[in-house]
Amino acid sequence: MEFPVVTVNPAQLETACLVVPVIEGELEGAAARLDDASEKLISQLIERGDFKAELGNTLLLPFAPGLGAQRLLLAGFGKAEKLDESRYKRGLDAAMAALLKLPVEDAAFAGVGLDIELRDAAWKARMIAESALRNAYRFTEMKSQPGEPASLTRLSVVSADKSQQAELEAGLRIGAAIGEGVNEARTLGNLPGNICTPTYLGERAEQLGSTSEGALKVTVLGEEELEKLGALSLLSVGRGSEEPSRLIVMEYRGAEDENEAPHVLVGKGITFDTGGISLKPGAGMDEMKYDMGGAASVFGTMRTVLALKPKLNVVAIVASAENMPDGRATKPGDIIKTLKGLTVEVLNTDAEGRLVLCDALTYAERFEPASVVDIATLTGACVIALGNHATGLISNDDDLALDLLDAGEEAWDRAWHMPLWDEYQAQLDSNFADIANIGGREAGMITAGCFLSRFADTFPWAHLDIAGTAWQSGKQKGASGRPVGLLTQYLLDREAELNAAQEETL
């Protein structure tokens, strides 16, 4: 989808459909200008009660007398004094959902003038592009007769201020790249486990590398290589499956100095999780195809990185396996040796994500990283604690944690910082090995983070638990693509930080 910026009176803009945000109370901005040009059409509709500008309300006017647009779509954004980032995004999503139902290829949005405290035009433009692409997404790969895709291919953003054009274009570029990355993550998450296997993810990475014009180096380690390496913890998870495990590495070297310490993203890629011998209940088990949501978000972020081309070095590592029960499967009570050399007593085979991540974190050491962030649908305890609104965050470095929290606020893909106190570590004590893979029911999300921290003691590290945010259940079941926005913003912030440091040395 294209997102050009046009600086024109919205009343004169010729387009198949013009979307205009309307605030409760007195009309202002683009809505006021369109009202004046259309003989007070919008005011009359509001006064007669045909349209209320409450948040999420929309009204399509198939004819727009006095305007250049063929159609006018009114979108309610609620009360001006209550308009914040969350309500702005909700208003955008309602407007885009209504727009994308229309048989139009070209449309325009006249809403960057809405006032949101501490948010500039670039941020609002970014959200517009993201929302358009997220709402245009359709997962039809598995349908015998796929439905028609959204017809919209061009959404112009209208501004009355020519001085804002570069700012808006920059915001739209970031928003479009993130939107595409989010949708990449959603597609990988929505694919069924019989299609999206560890082997498939490896092939997907190689495909991403082959189309990157040399910007992405891809390495896929198979089971023989992992055995020689000593990644026995990762391999233990897939022992009960016919699908071979994989460790997938994607390297992007965009910094001026290719030896600049990279920022590493590590994704949990359990392509289907039965729980293994510690078998999960049957109800809802189909959703365990989403247990590779961390890997999906890493793929989505790398696609966004390739689009934006930041001057930064980024390494992505995906630890992928399928957790199944059979005669060769790891059993409760088994003791396994990790790549780091620590031994783990497996008390529950359904706590398998940490067993693949620990070897991936150890593998990350070879890159001498500036930071490492792992992303995983790791614990049900996170869902109980934070629901499906905030991603859980645990870190051994407060500065890194704050950077991620700030990135989440900027991207409006937010996280919440949980403690990593020494007092919790004792819950992982084992009588028979160096560490147990679970620490009991209490503080389950935190003890999972404690486990991972044992393998991240040589670099700044953070863990993002996306068990509550990677997908939604129910009638609207599907992958969310989170936290691609947060991760992308984190990397863009590191690029800006690196650029500032380099300028200081000149």
Mind listing the pLDDT tens digit for each residue in 46-81? 999 999 999 999 999 999 899 999 999 999 999 999
Q: In what order do the strands lie in the sheet with 246-253?
A: 216-221, 246-253, 313-323, 263-273, 371-376, 461-465, 391-395, 415-417
Angstrom distances, CA of residue 66 to CA of 63, 114, 117: 10, 23, 33
Tens of pLDDT, residues 468-495? 999 999 988 999 999 999 999 999 999 9
Residues annotated as catalytic (active site), given as ranges: 280, 354
Position 361, amino acid: L
Yes or no: say if 30 and 158 are a contact pair by the CB < 8 Å rule. Answer: yes
Angstrom distances, CA of residue 2 to CA of 176, 212, 244: 9, 21, 40
Q: Output DSSP code: residue 282.
A: S
331 is in an annotated binding site: no
* Integer Cα distance of 170 and 157 in angstroms: 12
Number of other residues whose CB lies within 10 A of the CB of residue 385: 19
In this predicted structure, the answer to whether residue 506 has a pLDDT above a threshold of 80 is: no
* Integer Cα distance of 465 and 394 in angstroms: 8
3-class secondary-structure state, position 148: coil
* Integer Cα distance of 164 and 72 in angstroms: 24
In this predicted structure, the answer to whether residue 88 has a pLDDT above a threshold of 90 is: yes
Least confident among 22-31, 216-225, 305-314, 497-506? 497-506
273 is in an annotated binding site: yes
352 is in an annotated binding site: yes
220 alpha carbon, distance to own chain's centre: 23
Angle at 410 between CA 417 and CA 490, to 5 degrees: 70
Residue 484, H or E segment: helix 484-505
User: Where does the pLDDT of residue 102 fall: very low under 50, low under 70, confident under 90, or very high at 90 and above?
Assistant: very high
Q: Where are the alpha helices (DSSP H) in 111-253?
A: 121-136, 165-190, 198-210, 223-229, 232-237
Yes or no: say if 274 and 288 are a contact pair by the CB < 8 Å rule. Answer: yes
434 is in an annotated binding site: no
Position 107, amino acid: A
Instruction: Return the pLDDT at 501.
Output: 87
In this predicted structure, the answer to whether residue 371 has a pLDDT above a threshold of 90 is: yes
The tokens describing 159, both together, are 């501004």
User: Where does the pLDDT of residue 160 fall: very low under 50, low under 70, confident under 90, or very high at 90 and above?
Assistant: confident
Tens of pLDDT, residues 210-250? 999 999 999 999 999 999 999 999 999 999 999 999 999 99
258 is in an annotated binding site: no
Instruction: Return the pLDDT at 502.
Output: 84
Q: Tokens 């189309």 appear where?
A: 211
Q: What are phi and psi of 295, to 5 degrees?
A: -60, -40
Q: Output DSSP code: residue 188.
A: H
Q: Output DSSP code: residue 427.
A: G
